[in-house]
Amino acid sequence: LPLFRSVDERLERQLSPRAREALLQVSKSADALGLVAYLVGGAVRDLLLDRTSEDLDVVVEGRTGEAGVAVQLARRIAEEDITVRFEAFEKYQTASLSWPDGFVLDLATARTEFYPRPGANPEVESASIRLDLYRRDFTINALAICLNGPRAWQLIDFFGGAIDLSNRLVRVLHPNSFIEDPTRIFRAVRFALKLGFTIAPQTETFIVRSVSGGLHDLYGGERLRTELLYLLAAPFWLEALLCLDRLQALRCIHPQLHLDNRLRSGLEWLSGISLPLKVPAAQLRLERLLLAVGPEAAWKLPLDGAARQRIEKVRSLCPELPRWADRSAPALHRQLADWSPEAVLLLASLEEEPQREHLLLYLGLREQPRLLNGKDLKELGFKAGPTFRAILEAAFAAQLAGTLQTREEAIDWVRERYL
Ligand code: ATP
């Protein structure tokens, strides 16, 4: 590792003056209270990788596991600097400090975690910095920089994180890591691809072993969805899915989920669409993944009502698709008039070429402004009512078919047919 630069020098060069000042305040106040504070997590990793980081997490170690020391320290800093807004979360023994310029610092009391059962929320107890770092996901995320006391500005590396950083390896701290928390599988892939690292071979074995037993088949929830969406939102989303597939870890989403050619082509096609959409690309990718397997996959990942409806709509229409002989825009419109663009795209992503392109073409046509509106019909003497709507829809169908191209043509067309 290019540790030729000292920690001081890195803090000096890579942190903003704002962040340095905040850390100095932490250092001074921790000394005054007889506590020890550490910079931990992603910020330390990024500093050692010569990246800048403004997302600073501080862990505070009390005297033999004293509880609530992060809150004590944060309160002290806020007392000394009245411009700082202080918020305590006593239940979690954490606190947050925000400066008027928007700079935020999160402080947590050093703690250890026990997992009563795999995938469950951990039980927590205040502890030493060593145990706090031991509960973390990877060695490269388990480094700390001591901020005060006799070891001030030293790198704390209990688990070989610095060597793994220099060898560009993502490595867990113990064999049970993925059994305790399967979201770490997704995190391992994310860090490997984001940083250009490799998952250590033994860590890969731990992943495969933890997944193959079917242990995670019942596990789901908010955190899994969040980590999956992070991956699906990244520029490397396809590599991430390929990697998860290779590690058999798509099984965490559904036991039968595999990145086969059909799924891959559907996802890639979706990603190439440049229509303005209301649903983020990552969410659509997630829904496409869920459409590749049975409906029971959806309950593992909390989805909002709109997403659920989209998936169910597409799923219900899917078996009928091969029987749709007429793919003209008016014919598609008869089936899909009330479908959102996102739902139509999902449906298209389940199809092959050229059917997909027909649906895309239809979407494009559907977005064009209507030649005729209700005001036009009123001017022609029609009264609002069910036929009113039927006429408008019929005119739009003729527009989609290309029969009508101007407003004048549309008005004449209505006159001929309905007056
Ligand atoms: P990024 O720069 O991508 O945000 P980060 O390392 O800051 O990376 P966070 O998700 O913000 O990532 O997590 C902060 C720290 O909390 C991590 O560095 C890691 O030490 C710890 N952590 C987060 N999630 C887990 C987890 N599931 N299991 C164990 N430790 C975790």
Instruction: Write out the DSSP string of 337-352.
Output: TTS-HHHHHHHHHTS-
Q: In 234-373, where does DSSP find H-type helix?
A: 237-246, 261-271, 281-291, 305-317, 329-336, 341-349, 355-367
- Considering the domain boundaries, does residue 60 fall inside one? yes
Q: Assess whether the C-beta atom of 137 lies below 6 angstroms from ligand 1.
A: yes
- What is the extent of the structural domain holding 401? 374-418
Residue 119 and residue 228 in one domain: no
> Is residue 197 predicted with pLDDT exceeding 50?
yes
Please tell me the total number of residues recorded for the chain in this structure. Answer: 419
- Considering the domain boundaries, does residue 319 fall inside one? yes
155-156 and 123-126 strand pairing: unpaired
Residue 357 and residue 292 in one domain: yes
Ligand 1 center–CA 108 separation, angstroms: 13
Ligand 1 center–CA 317 separation, angstroms: 41
* Pocket perturbation via mutation, ligand 1, pick of 46, 54, 141, 156 by most ligand atoms within 8 A of CB: 141
Please say which residue of 257, 277, 304 terminates a domain: 257
CA dihedral 408, 411, 413, 415 (to 10 degrees): -140
ipTM: 0.98
Residue 286 and residue 182 in one domain: no
- With residue 8 as reference, give the H or E element that holds it: helix 7-14
pLDDT tens-digit profile of 309-364?
Answer: 999 999 988 777 767 777 888 889 988 988 999 999 999 999 888 889 999 999 99
Q: Which atom of ligand 1 is nearest to the CA of 194?
A: 3
Please say which residue of 228, 257, 286 terminates a domain: 257
Ligand 1 center–CA 141 separation, angstroms: 7
Q: Which atom of ligand 1 is nearest to the CA of 223?
A: 27
Residue 363 and residue 401 in one domain: no
Q: Report in angstroms the alpha-carbon separations of 285 from 193, 231, 238, 242, 338.
A: 18, 10, 10, 14, 22
> Is residue 221 predicted with pLDDT exceeding 90?
no
**Smallest CA separation from ligand 1 atom 25, residue:** 137
Residue 265 and residue 195 in one domain: no
Output b/e per residue, 239-257; b: 16+ Cβ within 10 A.
ebbebbbebebbbbbbeeb
Output b/e per residue, 55-69; b: 16+ Cβ within 10 A.
ebbbbbbbeebeebb
Q: Which domain CATH number covers 203?
A: 1.10.110.30
Residue 178 and residue 157 in one domain: no
The pLDDT, as a whole number, for residue 22 is 94
Q: Which residues contact 315 (CB under 8 A, 6 or more apart)?
A: 291, 295
Burial class (CB within 10 angstroms; exposed 0-12, middle 13-18, buried 19+) of 195 = middle
- Which pTM does this prediction carry? 0.89
> Is residue 229 predicted with pLDDT exceeding 60?
yes
> Is residue 176 predicted with pLDDT exceeding 80?
yes
Q: Assess whether the C-beta atom of 136 lies below 6 angstroms from ligand 1.
A: yes
Q: Which atom of ligand 1 is nearest to the CA of 184?
A: 27
* Pocket perturbation via mutation, ligand 1, pick of 137, 157, 181, 226 by most ligand atoms within 8 A of CB: 137
- Of 419 and 216, the structure prediction assigns the larger pLDDT to 419
pLDDT tens-digit profile of 201-210?
Answer: 999 999 999 9
The pLDDT, as a whole number, for residue 260 is 96
Please say which residue of 237, 257, 277 terminates a domain: 257
Number of domains in the chain: 4
144-146 and 155-156 strand pairing: antiparallel
- Considering the domain boundaries, does residue 1 fall inside one? no
The pLDDT, as a whole number, for residue 1 is 46
